[in-house]
């Protein structure tokens, strides 16, 4: 079969249009609207559109409204040519495409009033703006069931200005979507004739003579094309006759043909064709990608160096570990709303986006956590209350290049698991986040068990239920419950805990001298365990007690664990009792009572010296 040609023959006008069209721009702004075609109709009846038209619109997700509006929507989707119809009885004077004036406003068809600025193109009459060009029509001149006189607008609007207008107004429409990506600049008169036939067929009445202003953009361009590039760039050999045929059926014209060298004219509707490589892609695409013969990649001789850097391996290792701990990886935007960024330290003015992809994604993220918490809120709104998410990626707390940080961040929200007959789940807490952070650090070969635990977590954590893991002055990770004010602002139902691991602060892991594992030496002697309880000030960290006990005899003491914390009657005001279990592992011989007591005395003396406490009796 073959495509049927479009019926674009001119429809004779029955009268002169009572409304004229004009372009009112300076030489510098003339590209805002370079051509405006219009046509008036009278005696129309704007009822429901026929079933075939309603079915087509419904199939692409549009709601049928009325015959006039449905015709413009149909042509927009069928021919990629947005149109607009005005109720001619509500328009006064010449319809003019111009830039908006300071202070002008418009009540759009979505019943929202928008403030306009002089960078926006509008379609206006004597009373002011009646439409935002290429974006949305105005309520004041919209068509209703009572409409009997119509004016059809077919215009070409600058894609960049249309996109900027839509972003400023935070308004996404089907018309804007098409205009900002580029519509056919030569398909104005033909679109007007197609729309005319549909209006007369479905709504009756009669059409005026066409009125127009402007000549449209200069879209004509040619490309030099070497047919040999099909093989060198496309990887497949296609006969010159077939390549020429493909170009012709796609609408390209060959202006000059000198063997393998052609001069090709690009059709008006292919604004994406900008180079010789684009022509190669079109030919190969139509010929069939499946016809490109597979070619083995030649491997250079000799051993290959490592493909991944140590930092890349660390990232991949952290991802695997967190996934193994039951967390789901998320990939979110590097942008976020300014309101969310303020909850996590805010951003400098230099980190605000001048051209955001969306009005509510206007700053670079100072932390990954807001995006994860926002994802948690969306999941909770859909009935998924318990979840664990993580992301490994960059965050931008400062404006300088060195301020960019690579972070592994994660959250746990809700309970630790589903309900079960053998054990009830509990709400997630600070220790879950701490365990996640320590597990990652340990898996990366770092001494997570020897890291200092401090209570100086960032302000978005709960001040009494959070901490940091440090090696000296370097903060390796932060963890804890998320601050209740942050949860409330992000509409997250707690409990919620989080952690952040700062890869840039992690020390490099020393390379092993040998790939072989170290010889494992296991003692044949029984370990000896002793319990100690110390009364210390309430602000003394348990880690200080544990580290002091461990340092008493590093050769014999293999493990120190905290098993009880008590505050209240019997220990005094402002005091607490910390009970630890110390494990001694002899290697050469069984320890005597005297040797055990000597180590115990060292433990007591070391803890008292480090904490200022006393042995609880």
Strand-pairing partners, residue 206, are 42
The pLDDT assigned to 273 comes to 94
Paired sense of beta strands 113-115 and 105-107, if any = antiparallel
CATH superfamily of 528-615: Ferrodoxin-fold anticodon-binding domain (3.30.70.380)
- pLDDT given for residue 360 in this prediction: 82
Q: Is 531 helix (H, G, I), strand (E, B) or coil?
A: strand
Specify the fold of 310-505.
Answer: BirA Bifunctional Protein; domain 2 (3.30.930)
Strands 452-454 and 461-471: antiparallel
Q: The pTM is what?
A: 0.59
What confidence score (pLDDT) does residue 348 get? Answer: 86
**Which run of H or E residues covers position 55?**
helix 51-59
Fold of 222-291: Phenylalanyl-tRNA Synthetase; Chain B, domain 1 (3.30.56)
Contact 451, 468 (CB under 8 A): no
The DSSP output letter for 306 is P
Per-10-residue mean pLDDT of the chain, 617 residues long, equals 78 95 95 96 95 95 94 95 95 95 94 94 95 95 94 96 93 93 94 96 96 94 95 93 94 93 95 94 95 84 73 93 96 93 90 83 93 96 94 91 92 91 91 96 88 91 94 93 96 94 88 70 89 93 90 92 92 92 92 93 94 90
The CATH homologous superfamily for domain 21-213 is: Phenylalanyl-trna Synthetase, Chain B, domain 3 (3.50.40.10)
Compute how many other C-beta atoms are within 10 angstroms of the C-beta atom of residue 65.
16
Structure confidence at residue 512 (pLDDT): 64
Distance of alpha carbon 41 from alpha carbon 43, whole angstroms: 7
pLDDT for res 140: 92
> pLDDT at position 588, please?
87
Q: In the chain, where are the structural domains located?
A: 21-213, 222-291, 310-505, 528-615
| Residue 543 vs residues 18, 55, 236, 446, 538: alpha-carbon distances, Å | 88, 71, 68, 18, 13
The pLDDT, as a whole number, for residue 614 is: 92
585's tokens = 């592992």
> Which two structure tokens, joined as six digits, stand for 577?
């009792």
């Amino acid at each position: 079969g073959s495509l049927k040609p479009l019926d674009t023959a001119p429809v004779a006008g029955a009268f002169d249009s009572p409304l004229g069209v004009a372009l009112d721009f300076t030489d510098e702004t003339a590209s805002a609207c370079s051509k405006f075609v219009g046509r008036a109709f009278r005696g129309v009846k704007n009822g429901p559109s026929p079933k075939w038209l309603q079915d087509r619109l419904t199939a692409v997700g549009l709601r049928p409204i009325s015959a006039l509006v449905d015709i413009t929507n149909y042509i927009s989707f069928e021919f990629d040519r947005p149109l607009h119809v005005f109720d001619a009885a509500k328009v006064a004077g010449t319809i003019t495409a111009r830039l908006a004036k300071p202070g002008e406003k418009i009540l759009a068809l979505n019943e929202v009033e928008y403030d306009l600025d002089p960078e926006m193109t509008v379609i206006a009459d004597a009373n002011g703006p009646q439409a935002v060009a290429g974006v949305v029509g105005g309520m004041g001149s919209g068509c209703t069931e009572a409409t009997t006189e119509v004016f059809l607008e077919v215009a070409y609007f600058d894609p960049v200005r249309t996109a900027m207008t839509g972003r400023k107004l935070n308004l996404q429409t089907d018309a804007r979507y098409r205009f900002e990506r580029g519509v056919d600049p030569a398909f104005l008169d033909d679109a007007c004739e197609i729309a005319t036939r549909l209006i007369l067929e479905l709504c009756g009445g009669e059409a005026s003579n066409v009125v127009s202003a402007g000549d449209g953009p200069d879209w004509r361009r040619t490309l030099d094309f070497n047919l040999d590039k099909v093989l060198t760039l496309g990887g497949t050999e296609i006969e010159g006759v077939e390549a020429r045929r493909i170009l012709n059926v796609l609408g390209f014209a060959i202006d000059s043909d000198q063997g393998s060298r052609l001069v090709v004219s690009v059709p008006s509707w292919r604004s994406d064709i900008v180079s010789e490589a684009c022509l190669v892609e079109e030919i190969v695409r139509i010929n069939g990608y499946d016809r490109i013969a597979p070619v083995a990649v030649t491997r250079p001789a000799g051993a290959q160096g490592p493909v991944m850097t140590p930092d890349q391996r660390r990232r991949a290792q952290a991802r695997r570990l967190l996934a193994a701990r039951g967390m789901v990886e998320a990939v979110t935007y590097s942008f976020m709303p300014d309101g969310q960024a303020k909850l996590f330290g805010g951003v400098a003015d230099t980190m605000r986006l001048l051209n955001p992809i969306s009005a509510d994604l206007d700053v670079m993220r100072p932390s990954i956590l807001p995006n994860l918490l926002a994802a948690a809120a969306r999941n909770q709104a859909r009935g998924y209350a318990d979840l664990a998410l993580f992301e490994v990626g960059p965050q931008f707390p400062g404006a300088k290049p060195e301020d960019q940080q690579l972070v592994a961040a994660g959250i746990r929200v809700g309970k630790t698991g589903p309900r079960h007959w053998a054990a009830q789940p509990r709400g997630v807490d600070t220790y879950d986040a701490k365990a996640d952070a320590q597990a990652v650090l340990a898996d990366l070969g770092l001494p997570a068990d020897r890291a200092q635990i401090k209570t100086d977590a960032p302000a978005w954590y709960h001040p009494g239920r959070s901490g940091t893991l440090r090696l000296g002055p370097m903060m390796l990770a932060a963890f804890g419950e998320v601050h209740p004010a942050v949860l409330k602002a992000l509409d997250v139902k707690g409990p919620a805990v989080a952690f952040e691991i700062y890869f840039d602060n992690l020390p490099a892991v020393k390379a092993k001298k040998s790939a072989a594992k170290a010889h494992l030496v296991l003692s044949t002697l029984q370990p000896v365990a002793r319990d100690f309880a110390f009364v210390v000030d309430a602000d003394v960290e348990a880690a200080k007690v544990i580290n002091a006990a461990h340092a008493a005899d590093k050769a014999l003491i293999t493990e120190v664990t905290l098993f009880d914390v008590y505050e209240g009657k019997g220990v005094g005001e402002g005091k607490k009792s910390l009970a630890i279990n110390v494990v001694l592992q002899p290697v050469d011989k069984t320890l005597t009572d005297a040797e055990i007591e000597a180590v115990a005395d060292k433990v007591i003396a070391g803890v008292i010296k480090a904490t200022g406490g006393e042995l609880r009796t």
